[in-house]
Structure 1
Amino acid sequence: MTTLENRTHALAMTSEAEVRAVREVLLDAGLLGETVRYTFFTPEEPAKGEVLSGAETDRRFRVILLDIASGRSWDVVVSTDSRSVVSNRELDPPRDGQPPIIDTEFEMIEDILNAAAEWREALERRGIDPAQVRAVPLSAGAFDDYPEHPGHRVVRAFGFRQDHEKDHPWAHPIDGLVAYVDLTARTVDRVVDHAEHPVPETTGNFDDPEVQGPPLDLKPIEITQPQGRSFTVEDGHVRWGKWDLRIGFNEREGLTLHQIAFDGRPICYRASVAEMVVPYADPSPVRFWQNYFDCGEYMFARYADSLQLGCDCLGDILYTDAVIADDLGNPRTIENAICMHEEDYGVLWKHSDMFTGSRETRRQRRLVISFFTPIGNYDYGFYWYLYLDGTIELECKATGIVFTSGTPGEYATEIAPGLGAPFHQHLFSARLDMTVDGGPNAVEEIEAARVPMGEGNPYGNAFRRSVTRLSRESDAQRDANASTGRVWHIINTEKTNALGQPVGYTLHPEGQPTLLADDASVIRSRATFAAKALWVTQYDADERYPAGDFVNQNPGGAGLPAWVQADRPVDGEDIVVWHTFGLTHFPRPEDWPIMPVDYTGFVLKPSGFFDRNPALDIPASTNGHCHGGKENGEVHGPGKDRGAE
């Protein structure tokens, strides 16, 4: 099959030529009028079976189109191989939800607000010049407090005062005031002026040298690999040690990993962060609706940073660009969107034996594949780690600026004089399309269980392992339980190791709180995925996003809660594991004016996948910095140039 730019793999990353080709097809089909914009563009990946079979596949892309004049929208799939529209469905917003909010709409929000007399008058009563106000348009949710225009695209907007061009307005929230904006009609339909709170006068200018103070005297850290890096990347195909995988990128999920294998054995067909939600805890009349689905409502990876050597990444770095489409459907290349490098990670294994005199140490290292994206006030980093012993880890980093209010109190921390930061959560959903040793797979819930003192346990020291097989989708909606060390063992139901045990990988959760909102709340119905730490579903190529395809203004019930109604079997099937993890953030004064990185994530560890330690073949360090190593003819003894453990 002849494809654009001699594409070599069905999961190859998007090229600029493909973005242009999709636009040409849509133009030829008459689907791109003067007021039509892209709200979503992503590769429409072939079904898993087609890719794994090696069959030729059709290269397709999914585009969600929005007419910003009429509010009508369409879900379109385009083939760049046949240069044709494969499918085209007009959305029904009251039922389906709205397409994501786009840059075109963000850019016009201040003009809409400043044209509204009620908004200007509310600011004037506070003695604030509208020209000083930076408006923040935020997804409106799906509440019954705005019934006037069902099906219309709406956002709710807060104002923040900006005192000068370099002033960070997050320090000056204009609290007690919110506007409801109809994006299609470009009108302010309602202004809720609940209370006039003093605007905080603290500074948020963390990048001002006077605020930072004199820099500490820290010596540079340089990371070098004199012989170069140990991994290779060809057309998105990554090889490192025994690891083999592909990388991808799209504007909704950001970085995606595909066909992850170790020593030729499959582990996971596709891994991504498929959704995240940030629900806030302040129930006030102007803030009760605050909850943001950064993937589904904003396509947050379209704002991914172009990473910088020495700042974002250290060492022998390989950067990869990512290509997305802008609002008009033209290609936009994010340079250095993905960073790949190796990191030393301390001791991998070590023993000094008193009987044999053996002293052996091997150092751990990991391959890091990452990207960073700012979305509004927050910045998120997503770091996939692959370790020499077969472990996979995802670490999500949250930094940036906390969302602020002018009303510290029961549901917010006072982080600076008069400045509040409402309590909130950052909840992520990882979609893990598992293929442990090729499948079929199943999930066992494993936890520690106490054994009562008595017959067989006369001294009360015994405890055992409790194993529960999850058989159907109704069984496979689980909470974490740190008190019992609950983990989930993903096994191959047809293959065993040399000891007769099923080969598998274990998902180790952090066990932090899931969604804290009330069961009857609107956010609970819209972010049901976040109410459980684990869901297991039978694989379906169309089931990609845990809160549904169209999250913006969706009334709820889409995604995982809808799919599991079928109650399909998940024991010995082709399964997808969905894991909710995240942070519950009670902000601290130390989080202002910029928040040090907070961390969350999970680990997948081999459990019976190998017959023994798979990292016995890691060579000893030869860089002259271990005891017994030689450098310039000198033998380094204890206390001299010893490597950190």
Structure 2
Amino acid sequence: MTTVEDRRDATTDTPEAPTHPLAMTRGAEVDRVREALTAAGLLTETVRFAFFAPEEPPKAEVLAHDDGAPIDRRFRAVLLDLATGRSWDTVVSATSGEVVSSREIDAPREGQPPIIDAEFELIEDILNADDGWIEALRKRDIEPALVRAVPLSAGVYDHPEEVGRRIVRSFGFRQDHEQDHPWAHPIDGLVAYVDLTDRRVTRIIDVATPPVPATSGNFDDPEVQGPPLDSLKPIEITQPEGRSFTVEDGRVRWGKWDLRIGFNEREGLTLHQIAFDGRPVCYRASIAEMVVPYADPAPTRFWQNYFDCGEYMFARYADSLQLGCDCLGDIHYVDAVIADDFGLPKTITNAICMHEEDTGVLWKHSDLFTQSREVRRQRRLVISFFTPIGNYDYGFYWYLYLDGTIQLEVKATGIVFTAAYPEGGNEYATEVAPGLGAPYHQHLFSARLDMTVDGVRNAVEEAEAERVPMGEGNPYGNAFRQRRTRLSRESQAQRRADGSVVRSWHIVNPEKRNALGQNVGYALLPEGRATLLADEASSIHARATFATNHLWVTRYDPAQRYPAGDFVNQNPGGAGLPAWVRADRDIDGEDIVVWHTFGTTHFPRPEDWPVMPVDHTGFTLKPVGFFDRNPALDVPATRAAHCHNGSGDDHEVHGPAKERAGDGD
């Protein structure tokens, strides 16, 4: 049988006060923040929480923390008054129960707080109270009660009446019955602009009345799925002696790895103080932003650009993961505590999943001269969470390997955003089902990597292959070498990947050397796919400038956390990375943060409908000179009982069994 247990870290529900500055959020802390804001008169009947997350202390304070020393647990809460549209950015000490700071947000200049659940609940009532919306539906012979609508982030365009107002835009999707997936039936050529504060439609754009697609999107209907593929046999994941890692109040130890995990509604899963064999590698790693820009310039669609982190706080909708479906093996779950719109603690059960995976051969050699044969299996610790946001679902998987490698893999699945597909075609979309189109778009993520490679003072070198011309010193033309360029200032460290020269970026510690006299380092290995494709003069280019480069490097500043700015919703642009790097600070041998843009450009396929197979993207951090030799030499050989090689000796095999014995993937 499959040895699997539903094991959960329940420390987030315990009343004991946390003992580490980066410990997971407790429900009691959320209560203390709400009570403090209420006592200060900031949380009234019409005010809601638009954002809530730990306000982590500056890095120096955390690194200097001694076990048992007192800590001040602070949280940041952004408050939104639904009645007036005014908002406040506050910091509250859950330890003292006091409001540390509070200021009103200047929405026209800074942007709006994210869209919240209460506003999702309002949108259909607002639309159905508008004569223009009802008339547009009647013109299409559509019953308003069958239309599902969602508030979609508006962006910033040349609409003076929207400045300082809380605006969303909304499409309609027909839902033919309660179990019908409405994404299959977009009501195209129609969009409503909505003022959420006044709760009214400000503009109706109605430019065409194409037929509503009739295809089914009900991927969970057995008739749509067809007969099950019965030939697949079960795959069972077993660990007879249990798992190899431990978790204690967010601190994880596995092999030579030691780190802390965290969770907040904007970034989701965060990794902290990642160390290997007692040596620091990365102080904090997270996905700090993502943007999904669409390519269709139609009058009803040109504005489609979604910042799922900054505009929607997408991790507040994280799935409660299910044993045997989302995760396999000997699983350890961790609950996450966030705050709902009213500032009440909300526990996402099984928000984080942790398990080990065998990933094939770690290292291997069969020697011609000595006849020795050695093989070791690679495995990785997987720390993940999955979150649905609208039509898409995103899984974020951090992998730690036995050889010191760190990887992030993002898995994108769910349902593609849809539109009607005209008979004459659409150069900005794919027909995925009869009469149903899926517009072209991108999924671009920004990883914030606060590196501490063997210490706080780091530098970045761009490494790439350099061809050597044929001539003196290279008479046969076969030579190439590696060229390294130190990126010394923020203005220099705005770079794009180039696969033609195998470009990577090495984060090195100029004060530490290995046994060979080389600076210790970790290499950021990019996939090197397209960055933001929108025109440089476009609104989305100004708002998502972080996505125009694969690499940015900045001096560490505890206030600089989000690459498109703190308030992304309706931000006019220029916030975040483009604003920070204007200071052009020295980054050579300093406390630095590396920002990496990665992602996919999606030209949808018919195979992506009615539910999309997982698409993958990510990056790798690989040690380069961090160790003096292979750090995984001490990984033991697989015991004979678990290595079916036809021999009692699992690392010295002779005869026919020598052919690939025990080393299959």
Partner of 2:531: 514
Alpha-carbon offset, residue 628 of structure 1: 5.6
Alpha-carbon offset, residue 557 of structure 1: 0.4
| Residues 218-273 of structure 1, C-alpha deviations (whole Å, 9 max, x = no match) | 11111010000000000100000000000000000000000000000000000000
Aligned partner (choices 429, 439, 442) of residue 422 of structure 1:
439
Partner of 1:8: 19
**Mapping of residues 222-261 of structure 1, within 5 Å:** 222-261=236-275
Q: Verify the 8 A CA contact 1:46 1:57 in the aligned structure 2.
A: no
Aligned partner (choices 264, 269, 277) of residue 278 of structure 2:
264
**Counterpart Cα distance in 1 of 2:519 and 2:20:** 32
Q: Verify the 8 A CA contact 1:362 1:621 in the aligned structure 2.
A: yes
Q: Verify the 8 A CA contact 1:259 1:270 in the aligned structure 2.
A: yes
Partner of 2:9: none
Partner of 1:165: 178
**Counterpart Cα distance in 2 of 1:625 and 1:503:** 36
Partner of 1:524: 541
**Counterpart Cα distance in 2 of 1:487 and 1:640:** 33
Partner of 2:201: 188
DSSP 3-state at the match of 1:119: helix
Alpha-carbon offset, residue 630 of structure 1: 4.4
Q: Verify the 8 A CA contact 1:258 1:268 in the aligned structure 2.
A: yes
**Counterpart Cα distance in 1 of 2:336 and 2:17:** 18
Q: What TM-score results when the alignment is normalised by the length of structure 2?
A: 0.95
Alpha-carbon offset, residue 137 of structure 1: 1.4
Partner of 1:176: 189
Residue 70 of structure 1 aligns with an amino acid whose one-letter code is T
DSSP 3-state at the match of 2:328: coil
Moved more, 117-126 or 403-412: 403-412
Aligned partner (choices 446, 459, 484) of residue 463 of structure 2:
446
Partner of 2:450: 433
Partner of 1:49: 60
Partner of 1:461: 478
DSSP 3-state at the match of 1:296: coil
Q: Verify the 8 A CA contact 1:37 1:66 in the aligned structure 2.
A: yes
Would you say how many aligned residue pairs link Structure 1 and Structure 2?
A: 639
**Counterpart Cα distance in 2 of 1:472 and 1:419:** 49
**Counterpart Cα distance in 2 of 1:325 and 1:624:** 46
**Counterpart Cα distance in 2 of 1:641 and 1:567:** 56
Partner of 1:214: 227
**Counterpart Cα distance in 1 of 2:576 and 2:647:** 57
Partner of 2:213: 200
| Residues 118-137 of structure 1, C-alpha deviations (whole Å, 9 max, x = no match) | 00000000000000100121
DSSP 3-state at the match of 2:285: strand
1:122 maps onto 2:136 in alignment: yes
1:334 maps onto 2:345 in alignment: no
Partner of 1:133: 147
Partner of 2:368: 354
Q: Verify the 8 A CA contact 2:296 2:428 in the aligned structure 1.
A: yes
Q: Verify the 8 A CA contact 1:50 1:57 in the aligned structure 2.
A: no
Partner of 2:642: 624
Q: Verify the 8 A CA contact 1:342 1:367 in the aligned structure 2.
A: yes
**Counterpart Cα distance in 2 of 1:57 and 1:89:** 24
Partner of 1:496: 513
Partner of 1:409: 426
Residue 7 of structure 1 aligns with an amino acid whose one-letter code is P
Partner of 2:615: 598
Residue 9 of structure 1 aligns with an amino acid whose one-letter code is H
| Residues 591-618 of structure 1, C-alpha deviations (whole Å, 9 max, x = no match) | 0000000000000000000000000000
Aligned partner (choices 270, 285, 293) of residue 307 of structure 2:
293
DSSP 3-state at the match of 2:118: helix
Q: What TM-score results when the alignment is normalised by the length of structure 1?
A: 0.98
1:154 maps onto 2:167 in alignment: yes
Aligned partner (choices 327, 344, 354) of residue 313 of structure 1:
327
Partner of 2:39: 28
| Residues 402-434 of structure 1, C-alpha deviations (whole Å, 9 max, x = no match) | 000013510000011110100000000000000
| Residues 521-544 of structure 1, C-alpha deviations (whole Å, 9 max, x = no match) | 000000000000000000000000
Residue 122 of structure 1 aligns with an amino acid whose one-letter code is A
Q: Verify the 8 A CA contact 2:361 2:663 in the aligned structure 1.
A: no
Partner of 2:49: 38
RMSD of equivalent CA atoms:
1.4
Q: Where does structure 2 lack aligned partners over 5 or more consecutive residues?
A: 1-13
Residue 139 of structure 1 aligns with an amino acid whose one-letter code is S
Residue 178 of structure 1 aligns with an amino acid whose one-letter code is V
Residue 527 of structure 1 aligns with an amino acid whose one-letter code is A
Residue 627 of structure 1 aligns with an amino acid whose one-letter code is N
Residue 609 of structure 2 aligns with an amino acid whose one-letter code is W
Q: Verify the 8 A CA contact 1:37 1:65 in the aligned structure 2.
A: yes
Alpha-carbon offset, residue 439 of structure 1: 3.0
**Counterpart Cα distance in 1 of 2:435 and 2:197:** 36
| Residues 165-215 of structure 1, C-alpha deviations (whole Å, 9 max, x = no match) | 111000000000000000000000110001111111111000000000010
Q: Verify the 8 A CA contact 1:624 1:630 in the aligned structure 2.
A: no
Q: Verify the 8 A CA contact 1:279 1:292 in the aligned structure 2.
A: yes
DSSP 3-state at the match of 1:267: strand
**Counterpart Cα distance in 2 of 1:188 and 1:206:** 33
DSSP 3-state at the match of 2:37: helix
**Counterpart Cα distance in 2 of 1:371 and 1:237:** 17
Residue 240 of structure 1 aligns with an amino acid whose one-letter code is W
Moved more, 28-37 or 382-391: 28-37
Give % identity.
76
Cα distance, 1:131–1:360 mapped onto 2, change above 3 Å: same
Alpha-carbon offset, residue 625 of structure 1: 2.3
Q: Verify the 8 A CA contact 1:448 1:463 in the aligned structure 2.
A: yes
**Counterpart Cα distance in 2 of 1:378 and 1:640:** 41
Residue 182 of structure 2 aligns with an amino acid whose one-letter code is P
Moved more, 616-625 or 496-505: 616-625
Q: Verify the 8 A CA contact 1:626 1:643 in the aligned structure 2.
A: no
DSSP 3-state at the match of 1:175: strand
Alpha-carbon offset, residue 34 of structure 1: 0.5
Q: Verify the 8 A CA contact 1:205 1:211 in the aligned structure 2.
A: yes
Cα distance, 1:167–1:612 mapped onto 2, change above 3 Å: same
Query: Runs ≥4 in structure 1, deviation > 4 angstroms?
Result: 628-631, 639-643
DSSP 3-state at the match of 2:214: coil
